[in-house]
Amino acid sequence: MIDWGEKLKKMGILWQHDCNPATPHALWTSGRHADTFNNGSKLVENPNIMVQVAEGLIDKMKNDLSINKPDWIVGPAFGAVTIAYEIAKQLEIKFAFTEPVQIGANKEQVLRRFDIKEGEKVLVVEDAISTGDSILKTIKTLEDKGVSVLPFVASIVNWSESNKLGKRKINSLFSASIKSWTKNECELCKMGSKVFRPKANWSKFKKIT
Ligand SMILES: [Zn+2]
């Protein structure tokens, strides 16, 4: 049995602060400071590991999939494209993605390039769920088209502190809670830890062992 948390951390896909003030913490694109970061690109650049990740998620969903077999796997671009594709490949079913499009003041997940028919069954897959914003928008887009979205979803990582996304069960390989703060409230800054953008400063975040 693979310890996915350990494996993903070793690969630099997942990172969590170790409460040591000498360890820097993460500045998210939103401007918030956080004790957690995930870098899905580190997984995407290793297709052979992605194959194992997809196998792991399919294994987690074994019972759910025996009851509800999807016709399609759909993931929100860009983060979930490769994992959704690989799961679809292994299940020998179809794959599609939704893509982020600015509509008025909101960014929506739009299905542009694929013809999923009304009533077809879709399993929605994500690389990481925190607020669930992208995956919920994908589900809404599909339901608005009359597509049947299965009562469970899959995500490589679940940061949401819940095993449910609305009424749907979340299947994940690794789950944990995230702490994040505004610049002024950041507990890690108060502790003396420095803050960096993780992708641009990855060498600073690597654990010294
Ligand atoms: Zn901070």
Average pLDDT by consecutive 10-residue portion of the chain (209 residues)?
88 89 91 90 93 97 97 96 98 98 94 96 95 94 97 95 96 93 97 92 70
119 alpha carbon to ligand 1 midpoint, in Å? 47
121 alpha carbon to ligand 1 midpoint, in Å? 43
Task: Please report the pLDDT score of residue 29 as a whole number.
Answer: 81
Task: Please report the pLDDT score of residue 206 as a whole number.
Answer: 73
CB 36 within 8 A of CB 17: yes
| Rounded Cα–Cα distance for residues 43 and 53 (Å) | 9
107 alpha carbon to ligand 1 midpoint, in Å? 27
| Rounded Cα–Cα distance for residues 36 and 188 (Å) | 11
34 alpha carbon to ligand 1 midpoint, in Å? 7
CATH code of the domain in which 172 resides: 3.40.50.2020
199 alpha carbon to ligand 1 midpoint, in Å? 16
187 alpha carbon to ligand 1 midpoint, in Å? 7
Which residues, at least 6 apart from 118, have a Cβ–Cβ distance to it below 8 Å?
145, 146, 147
Neighbours of 24 (CB within 10 A): 17
Task: Please report the pLDDT score of residue 39 as a whole number.
Answer: 85
The dihedral formed by the CA atoms of 30, 36, 42 and 47, expressed in degrees to the nearest 10: -110
Domain that holds residue 13: 4-205
27 alpha carbon to ligand 1 midpoint, in Å? 7
194 alpha carbon to ligand 1 midpoint, in Å? 7
Task: Please report the pLDDT score of residue 209 as a whole number.
Answer: 37
190 alpha carbon to ligand 1 midpoint, in Å? 7
Q: How many structural domains compose the chain? A: 1
3-state secondary structure of 113: coil
